[in-house]
A and B are shown apart, each in its own frame.
Chain A
């Protein structure tokens, strides 16, 4: 069955899901949601995702939302197909979940706020709050220092192989490096840089970049 993914191919959260489906070689169809037109806040979409956010998926009878829930579901459902994105034991899986939580709580909000202020608002013809953006950047420096320390001992976040924990960071770091002029956060850190080069060169991610037509 083809997985229906409702969202925009260029938006961070749907990209998390699409990258996972590409890694696991799961067929999908993208149903574009026009954020600029407010489609995600209309009653028909709210039936699908009551918080008015993308993505939402439909897989036969199963309807799911929240990108980090969706990737956990597909990584588990297709554990025997393609790369193992959940680690090789329960203990490794828990470390994957740990870093997924770190990404969600210590990393994502900072990137979202920073990107909103220096990329999205100007695109809309408005002034971003540069002081707020700078504050986020400073906090991100500290977070990236922790990642640098960790990745100096571990090739990937949860151990020796690529997992959902690494995958989950791809969309946000792409925004930082390509759109927000914040590449220095990555390039100034030897191990973070090597890790980013590695994970962003995976064929699934490159395929998604092609689909996104940046």
Chain B
């Protein structure tokens, strides 16, 4: 049975897609149009009561929250494809540490920038320039911490690529491609090298090829 992934056009589902490709797991996608409000349809809310993407369906088994889905498939298919969880319990702990950093510190300002810069015109709302400035400052401080970390470690959790790095791909791609803020990455030597490395992985290039960003400027 092939895994179904809902909402492939959007950033969070792309975390799941790139993970599945790294683990050599076949999948199908089901489009969900957020601008049309399809994520708030009663049928969708039965799958994901909080009304966000992605959701995966694997036979009878339904799961939501992209980082939970990634962890599941990375563990389930541990013996095939790329190792994304480290080799020991301790390495896994470090992967969890930096996955949480992505979720708690990196993603919030990124998400605000995405909504403000890429979405506000589509939603008929004015851009909040103060909020954009504030979010950029917050993100800058986080990237400074990443710069320090990546000067000592090739990838976030250690010298091995993991879910922690992978989780950053979708929104950071928006930052460099659609928000005119590539300098935030390029101006930081180790962050830049890390970004070049992870974004050039064939799995990510395949995702970009197959599923274009829905909102461009």
Q: How large is the interface on B (under 10, 10 to 19, 20 to 34, 35 or more residues)?
A: 20 to 34
Give Cα A13 to B43, complex, Å.
35
Q: Mark A46-86, 1 if CB is under 8 A from B, else 0.
A: 00001100000000001011101110110011000000000
List residues of chain B with CB within 8 A of the CB of A104: 100, 103-104
**B contacts with A: majority SS:** helix
Give Cα A143 to B52, complex, Å.
13
Q: Does A91 contact B (CB under 8 A)?
A: yes
Q: Does B72 contact A (CB under 8 A)?
A: yes
List residues of chain B with CB within 8 A of the CB of A64: 93-94, 96-97
Quick one: which of B40-90 are within 8 Å of A by CB?
A: 49-50, 61, 63-65, 67-69, 71-72, 75-76, 89-90
Closest to B58 in A: A91
Quick one: which of A108-162 are within 8 Å of B by CB?
A: 143, 146, 149-150
The answer to whether A50 and B145 have CB atoms under 8 Å apart is yes
Q: Which of A18-26, A29-37, A95-103, A199-207 contacts B (4 or more CB under 8 A)?
A: A95-103
**A contacts with B: majority SS:** helix
Closest to A79 in B: B89
Give Cα A105 to B10, complex, Å.
17
Q: Does B105 contact A (CB under 8 A)?
A: yes
Q: A50-B148, A91-B61 are in contact. Are A97 and B68 (CB under 8 A)?
A: yes
The answer to whether A73 and B93 have CB atoms under 8 Å apart is yes
The answer to whether B72 and A69 have CB atoms under 8 Å apart is no
Q: Does B188 contact A (CB under 8 A)?
A: no
The answer to whether B89 and A94 have CB atoms under 8 Å apart is no
The answer to whether A105 and B101 have CB atoms under 8 Å apart is no
Q: Does B149 contact A (CB under 8 A)?
A: yes
List residues of chain A with CB within 8 A of the CB of B71: 94, 97
The answer to whether A98 and B96 have CB atoms under 8 Å apart is no
The answer to whether B63 and A66 have CB atoms under 8 Å apart is no
Q: Does B178 contact A (CB under 8 A)?
A: no
List residues of chain B with CB within 8 A of the CB of A90: 72, 75-76
Give Cα A104 to B93, complex, Å.
18
The answer to whether B149 and A50 have CB atoms under 8 Å apart is yes
Q: A50-B148, A68-B100, A150-B49 are in contact. Are A101 and B93 (CB under 8 A)?
A: no
Q: A50-B148, A72-B96, A146-B49 are in contact. Are A66 and B101 (CB under 8 A)?
A: yes
Q: Does A106 contact B (CB under 8 A)?
A: yes
15 contacts between A and B (CB under 8 A): A62-B93, A64-B93, A69-B96, A70-B97, A90-B75, A91-B72, A94-B63, A94-B72, A95-B63, A98-B63, A98-B68, A100-B68, A146-B49, A149-B49, A150-B49
